[in-house]
């Protein structure tokens, strides 16, 4: 059978609701290995006995995954899933990408680990490659192991450099789960009811959908009825005024070490800020002695399409940048990039990192950067992301349960609401929709303050057929949900 015949057999297109969609999961020439691990029942027993109860199942019927290839995952029964969440925005270039696997295999047979008190060539190759992606004076690289660790180190650098001790983040942000960073994270569901270190403040979130002044954002999709400002959004000044009030009334002596902000809030459901907000917040923070720390853990490495780093789309160059997740395509690594001047303030105490920048992670990191370039994945994010969000906007026209569609590139979100309101859809209804998406062979994320946002952050290698398949599935699921509610 020819490839063309195969394509016609498995790619049956139809038009409905103005959407061009694929009716079945796209054909993918990959044969997963036969599963030989513990049964689902055995994993239930092991989890019940030995896992902490805080590690919960996100599905009523858990998914037991054992293999992945590019944008697809396979469960213990051989079922294929289109991965639209990328291991929580972590798989950037594709599951088990052959070039990354090859680089890791080559290095693992040569040298695993020395710690950074010795030198090995891979770390030098990688750091030069990584630094070339940054503008201005962002030239000093700390290699660490996780986004939490990167953000923790960034707070140390900001305090050491400025001599100030207070740090501001935005409401509903997520920056890590360590005891030191629970104060920086401003999402209540991720904060234990325990005292946190002093010196963290949370500024009003400039949210175009739920914020009191609304606003327009840098996205193809705007909040229904929002403003259409040609430059900076008019609402930006109002949110900046609130930031200034916080600085002048709550922060001791009005001096801060820094402002932490994601370019697009990830865990909070892909919240974008009104145009101009981050740039003006940066200018204000500078006046109060602080630095700007850009958290690029989820929005970096070309995911937003227009630029390699999310902060570049805001017209500002941070003083410190933190990154993780997509940096290693699932390999546990992270980094902090800053200026020589800021890094010099860190020499007052000895510093080393046991695993940061080890030979394996450096080899993986370099190969990830190479794949992004060679396979034009940033361009894919830009082009395919525009197509994806346009299709989601079409869905929104026909399904009033979609209150907002937002995002850039392949960092998208769909906020589900009680139709014709901004009231968050009930958790039980969200879970019903979430389970049905899984039943259709798609893994997707959830987030937002009310856990009512479907988070779409797939491996950056997905294609148009994957998008069409996802749109068809979402359309069918939301129709079923609407009919069920009408019957009730």
Model confidence pLDDT, tens digit, residues 249-305: 999 988 999 999 999 999 999 999 999 999 999 999 999 999 999 999 999 999 999
For 139, how many CA atoms within 13 A lie in the half-sphere containing its CB?
5
**Predicted confidence (pLDDT) at residue 16 exceeds the cutoff of 50:** no
Residue range 433-445: mean pLDDT, rounded: 97
Cα–Cα dist 443/82, whole Å: 6
Confidence of residue 486 (pLDDT cuts 50, 70, 90): low
Model confidence pLDDT, tens digit, residues 142-192: 999 999 999 999 999 999 999 999 999 999 999 999 998 999 999 988 998
Model confidence pLDDT, tens digit, residues 204-247: 999 999 999 999 999 999 999 999 999 999 999 999 999 999 99
The pLDDT assigned to 326 comes to: 97
Neighbours of 171 (CB within 10 A): 18
The pLDDT assigned to 21 comes to: 45
Cα–Cα dist 61/298, whole Å: 28
H/E segment holding residue 368: helix 359-374
Cα–Cα dist 414/426, whole Å: 15
**Is the CA virtual torsion 410, 291, 184, 216 positive or negative?**
negative
**Predicted confidence (pLDDT) at residue 488 exceeds the cutoff of 80:** no
Contact between 170 and 261 (Cβ < 8 Å): yes
Contact between 125 and 367 (Cβ < 8 Å): no
Ramachandran sector of residue 454 (left: φ over 0; alpha: ψ -120 to 50; beta: rest): beta
Query: Which of 32, 83, 38 is closest to 330 using CA atoms?
Result: 83
For helices 359-374 and 98-108, give the axis angle rounded to 10 degrees. 160
Query: Which of 68, 83, 90 is closest to 25 using CA atoms?
Result: 83
In the chain, the N- to C-terminal Cα span, in Å, equals 48
Model confidence pLDDT, tens digit, residues 368-426: 999 999 999 999 999 999 999 999 999 999 999 999 999 999 999 999 999 999 999 99
Confidence of residue 12 (pLDDT cuts 50, 70, 90): very low
Cα–Cα dist 464/23, whole Å: 13
Confidence of residue 128 (pLDDT cuts 50, 70, 90): very high
**Predicted confidence (pLDDT) at residue 6 exceeds the cutoff of 80:** no
**Predicted confidence (pLDDT) at residue 313 exceeds the cutoff of 60:** yes
Q: Compare 58 and 339 and report the one with higher pLDDT.
A: 339
Q: Which long-range contacts (CB under 8 A, 24 or more apart) does 101-110 make?
A: 102/367, 103/363, 103/364, 103/366, 103/367, 104/331, 104/360, 104/363, 104/364, 104/367, 106/363, 107/359, 107/360, 107/363, 107/364, 108/360, 110/359
| Domains in the chain: boundaries | 3-93+377-487, 100-374
Contact between 478 and 26 (Cβ < 8 Å): no
Cα–Cα dist 258/166, whole Å: 7
How many percent of the chain have pLDDT more than 90? 86
Residue range 416-444: mean pLDDT, rounded: 96
Cα–Cα dist 360/331, whole Å: 9
The two domains 3-93+377-487 and 100-374 share their CATH topology (first three levels equal): no
Cα–Cα dist 217/263, whole Å: 12
Cα–Cα dist 7/1, whole Å: 10
Q: Which fold has domain 3-93+377-487?
A: 3.90.1150
Confidence of residue 10 (pLDDT cuts 50, 70, 90): very low
Confidence of residue 20 (pLDDT cuts 50, 70, 90): very low
CATH class of the domain at 100-374: alpha beta
Model confidence pLDDT, tens digit, residues 65-115: 999 999 999 999 999 999 999 999 999 999 999 999 999 999 999 999 988
Residue range 472-486: mean pLDDT, rounded: 90
Cα–Cα dist 190/169, whole Å: 15
The pLDDT assigned to 487 comes to: 57
């Amino acid at each position: 059978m020819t490839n063309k015949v195969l394509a016609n057999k498995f790619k049956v297109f139809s038009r409905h609701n103005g959407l061009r969609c694929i009716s079945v999961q796209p054909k993918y020439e990959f044969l997963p290995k036969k599963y030989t691990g513990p049964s689902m029942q055995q994993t239930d027993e092991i989890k019940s006995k030995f896992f902490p109860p805080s590690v919960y199942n996100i599905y009523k019927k858990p998914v037991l995954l054992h293999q992945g290839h590019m944008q697809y995952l396979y469960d213990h029964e051989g079922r294929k899933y289109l991965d639209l969440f990328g291991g929580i925005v972590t798989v950037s270039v594709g599951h088990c990408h052959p070039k990354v696997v090859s680089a890791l295999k080559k290095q693992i047979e040569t040298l695993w680990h020395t710690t950074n008190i010795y030198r090995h060539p891979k770390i030098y190759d990688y750091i030069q490659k990584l630094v070339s992606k940054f503008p201005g004076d962002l030239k000093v690289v700390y290699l660490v192991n996780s986004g939490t660790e990167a953000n923790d180190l960034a707070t140390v650098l900001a305090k050491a450099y400025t001599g100030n001790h207070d740090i501001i983040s935005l409401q509903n942000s997520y920056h890590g789960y360590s005891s030191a960073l629970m104060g920086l994270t401003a999402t209540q569901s991720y904060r234990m009811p325990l005292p946190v270190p002093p010196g963290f403040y949370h500024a009003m979130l400039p949210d175009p959908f739920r914020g009191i002044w609304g606003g327009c954002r840098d996205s193809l999709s705007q909040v229904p009825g929002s403003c259409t400002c040609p430059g900076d959004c008019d609402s930006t000044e109002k949110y900046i005024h609130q930031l200034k009030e916080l600085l002048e009334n709550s922060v001791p002596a009005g001096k801060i070490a820094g402002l932490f902000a994601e370019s697009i809030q990830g865990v909070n459901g892909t919240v974008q800020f009104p145009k101009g907000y981050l740039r003006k917040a940066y200018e204000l923070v500078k006046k109060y002695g602080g630095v700007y720390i850009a958290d690029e853990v989820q929005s970096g490495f070309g995911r937003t399409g227009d630029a390699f780093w999310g902060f570049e789309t805001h017209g500002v160059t941070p003083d410190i940048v933190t990154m993780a997740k997509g940096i290693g395509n699932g390999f546990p690594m992270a980094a902090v990039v800053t200026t020589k001047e800021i890094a010099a303030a860190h020499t007052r105490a000895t510093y080393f990192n046991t695993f940061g920048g080890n030979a394996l992670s450096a080899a993986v990191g370099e190969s990830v950067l190479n794949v992004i370039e060679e396979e034009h994945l940033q361009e894919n994010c830009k082009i395919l992301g525009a197509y994806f969000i346009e299709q989601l906007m079409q869905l929104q026209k026909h399904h009033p349960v979609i209150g907002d569609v937002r995002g850039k590139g392949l960092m998208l979100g769909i906020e589900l609401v009680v139709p014709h309101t901004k009231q968050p859809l009930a958790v039980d209804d969200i879970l019903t929709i979430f389970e049905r998406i899984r039943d259709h062979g798609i893994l997707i994320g959830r987030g937002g303050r009310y856990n009512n946002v479907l988070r779409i952050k797939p491996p950056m290698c997905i294609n148009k057929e994957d998008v069409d398949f996802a749109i068809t599935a979402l359309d069918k699921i939301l129709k079923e949900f609407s009919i069920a509610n009408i019957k009730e």
